[in-house]
Amino acid sequence: MNTLTTESSKNWILIGLYLSISLLPGPITYLMYQVAVKGRLGAPLNFSLQSENVSIIIATFAFTMLGFMAAIITVLFAFVDTRVVKKYAKKDYFSTFFLTYFITIISLVMTFGFSLLTFASQGSVIFLKLSFVSLINNLVQITLITMTIVNLSRRAFEERSKG
């Protein structure tokens, strides 16, 4: 089998895995919450009474994480000349990484937008729910991106320190 085809299919598998891992936790958490409330397993969280405050907190989180994403990518660029990063690039993992990075940025912008819409439309609970679902997804996405960059940076730093 052609090496290029194998690497390309690996990248598509990685992208599919990332999308499932990063976009499903929010809806799954929301469904579990709904089942728990309807089954009397837990008290409902009535955030709609404080929707303005909650939307401000979520919007602040999303906007702050956009800045964090910009800052953490610079850490990766500091190690571009190392063998570890070059090997990562040679296997074409960077295209997958930057696609996931782009998806995370778009998700953070959507979370910010949902929060602003919650704030703007006082009576609507749908945007508050979408904000929470998107927030959970953002937490997972940022964790995955951060773990990738930290692991690459750690390995690159170890390579540099060895000589």
Q: Domain map of the chain by residue range?
A: 3-162
Overall size of the chain counted in residues: 163
* CA–CA dist 4, 91 (Å, integer): 9
> Cα–Cα distance between 77 and 94 in angstroms, integer?
12
Q: Which residue has the higher pLDDT, 7 or 36?
A: 36
Mean pLDDT rounded to a whole number for the chain: 87
State whether residue 127 is helix, strand or coil: helix
pLDDT band at 38 (very low <50, low <70, confident <90, very high): confident
pTM of the model: 0.84
In SS3 terms, 43-65 reads as: CCCCHHHHHHHHHHHHHHHHHHH
Q: What is the pLDDT of residues 80-115, one digit of tens each?
A: 899 999 998 888 888 889 999 999 999 999 999 999
In the structure, what pLDDT confidence band is assigned to residue 51 with cuts at 50, 70 and 90? Answer: confident
55: number of Cβ within 10 Å? 23
Residue 79, SS3 per DSSP: coil
The H helix count followed by the E strand count for the chain is 6, 0
Which run of H or of E encompasses 84? helix 83-90
Q: pLDDT over 90 for what percent of the chain?
A: 51
Backbone angles phi, psi at 131, to 5 degrees: -60, -45
111 with 135: CB under 8 angstroms? yes
Are 117 and 56 in contact by the 8 Å Cβ rule? The answer is no
**Element spanning 18, H or E:** helix 3-23
Give residue-wise pLDDT tens across range 114-148.
999 998 887 678 999 999 999 999 999 999 999 99
SS3 69: helix
The two three-digit tokens of residue 16, written as one number = 């599919």
